[in-house]
Structure 1
Amino acid sequence: MKFTAYLLLFLVINFGGLYLGTLLMNNGPNAEWYLNLNKAPWTPPGWVFGAAWTCIMLCFSIYLSFLFQWKSSTGLWSLFGIQVFLNVIWNYVFFNQHMTILGLVIIVSLLIVILYYFVNFKADKLKTTRLLLLPYLIWLCIAVSLNLYVVIHN
């Protein structure tokens, strides 16, 4: 498969996952439950989340296109499927079901999956390309801290 075809595929899947996650949030950040939580003082304003996830999914889709063009396997597709599932289900678990501890487990699991990509796929062809994962890793570290704060202070 060519790079452009992979890129289109991953853009559709990743942004589709974001959209599905948004649908599962049950009004998410605007819901009374979330508004009444004790949130971390470093919680960014709402618009930052949309901007961050747009940047993250663009970078991640480009990274995946290079990765899958270099090495496409059943295991790699499975890992990607796990990543999409964790990314989508966190919204439902945290915002819709208000299960903050399970949400924390899910977001930490997602961080581990993205770290796995970063650490294990570093062939010469991907050395600089894997830097495209940094926005995702940084954002997940922030998300883990925000989720952990909610767990501890509510």
Structure 2
Amino acid sequence: MLMQRVAFLLAVAHAAARPAGPKARALPRQQAAQRRKGWTAKLKFLRDDWQEAVLRPRGGASSTQAALRPRGGASSLTTLTHAALGAVFEAGALLGVVKAARALPPGASSAIAKLKILPSDTIKGLPAAEWFAWCVIIFGSSAVGSAVDGSLRAATNQILMPTRVAGEQGWYASLDKPRWEPPGFVFPVMWLLVSKPTQLLAVAKVCSSGTSEGEEAAALPWVPQLAAYCLHLALGDAWNKVFFGQQKVAAGALMITVFYGALLASAYLFAQVDATAGLLMVPTCLWVTVAAALNWSIYFRLGGAASSDSD
């Protein structure tokens, strides 16, 4: 009799401790999934992702964060810090190239003209040596950046081979992008034939402003105009390195926002010196607006897909 009672009590205790069945567990999950739908889920994704990526970079990553940082490695905070410091040093190097060209004797510009590198020793009010330095900076800032940090910038490949990205091939093509994404051939056309040449003309306007024909070159507006402009170039290279090179969508979204702000600041500061120079920066501003919207759209689409997957 005693053994029967003990067996009965053990059976009751085992039934009470047994976990709920699949149906009982599914109901709370369905209710939670419904609460996560819509914009509330997207805002929660944005908040949680940046807290994990920036505020708590050493913690574990969820499946959503793993998708946003597919290649692993350094945390987003480390990536952004390294990219920002690299951009500052690259901007200083770019200004140094201009200072070095400006310090050259007048014979250097004549030599450049004789070598047929440029058509004459003075172009748009600038000595040929200075003009050549700005061509190197504007069209090849990534090469200067690679000399600063000792690595090949992804920006170079983005200009020469816009359909390929550094690292895992096919990564960018596999991303969920909006329908309004420009076709691949538009990127080199905009950068090489529209954006870069108009930037070069804008810089020439700023550098030759206030200088009449035959007069000695006026002092350049190093700060803040040219400093902001070189910083925007360096930040653009940093964004290419973070987004395409390291394939980090979240960190790239933040980096291109800073890059975009520096570009707008440069356009405004150029307009203060010469109104035409400010207008010449408009094509680049419009194009980077498209690029920034595309990066953020990819970020939110990746977050929305991850939220629906978890549902």
State which of 228, 233, 244 in structure 2 corresponds to 1:95.
244
TM-score (norm. length: structure 1): 0.85
SS in 1 for 2:271: coil
Counterparts in 2 of 1:81 and 1:120: CA distance versus 1, 3 Å: closer
Q: Which residue of 2 aligns with 1:9?
A: 133
The higher relative CO (CA closer than 8 Å, separation ≥ 6) is in: 1
Q: CA RMSD in A?
A: 2.5
CA contact (8 A) 2:225 2:270 kept: no
Q: Which runs of 4+ in 1 moved over 4 A?
A: none
Question: Which one has the largest radius of gyration?
Answer: 2
**1:139-150 matched pairs, under 5 angstroms:** 139-150=287-298
After alignment, is 95-104 or 29-38 more displaced?
29-38
Cα distance between partner residues in 2 of 1:135 and 1:18:
20
State which of 7, 22, 39 in structure 1 corresponds to 2:156.
22
**1:124-135 matched pairs, under 5 angstroms:** 126-135=274-283
Whichever residue aligns with residue 153 of structure 1, its letter is R
Whichever residue aligns with residue 17 of structure 1, its letter is S
Q: Which residue of 2 aligns with 1:36?
A: 174
Cα distance between partner residues in 2 of 1:135 and 1:113:
15
Matched, 1:50 2:50: no
CA contact (8 A) 1:100 1:150 kept: yes
State which of 214, 222, 225 in structure 2 corresponds to 1:73.
222
Cα distance between partner residues in 1 of 2:177 and 2:134:
33
Runs of 5+ unmatched residues, structure 1: none
Report which of the two has the higher share of helix. Answer: 1
TM-score (norm. length: structure 2): 0.44
SS in 2 for 1:121: helix
Cα distance between partner residues in 1 of 2:223 and 2:267:
19
Q: Which residue of 2 aligns with 1:63?
A: 202
After alignment, is 67-76 or 82-91 more displaced?
67-76
Q: CA deviation at 1:152?
A: 0.7
Q: Percent identity?
A: 24
After alignment, is 88-97 or 78-87 more displaced?
78-87
Whichever residue aligns with residue 235 of structure 2, its letter is L
Matched, 1:122 2:271: yes
Q: CA deviation at 1:57?
A: 0.7
Q: Which residue of 2 aligns with 1:111?
A: 260
Q: CA deviation at 1:107?
A: 1.3
Q: Which residue of 1 aligns with 2:63?
A: none
CA contact (8 A) 1:11 1:57 kept: no
Whichever residue aligns with residue 15 of structure 1, its letter is F
Cα distance between partner residues in 1 of 2:127 and 2:183:
34
Cα distance between partner residues in 1 of 2:282 and 2:248:
28
Whichever residue aligns with residue 146 of structure 1, its letter is L
Cα distance between partner residues in 2 of 1:133 and 1:77:
13
User: When the two structures are aligned, how many residues end up with a matched partner?
Assistant: 152
Whichever residue aligns with residue 189 of structure 2, its letter is A
Cα distance between partner residues in 2 of 1:17 and 1:74:
19
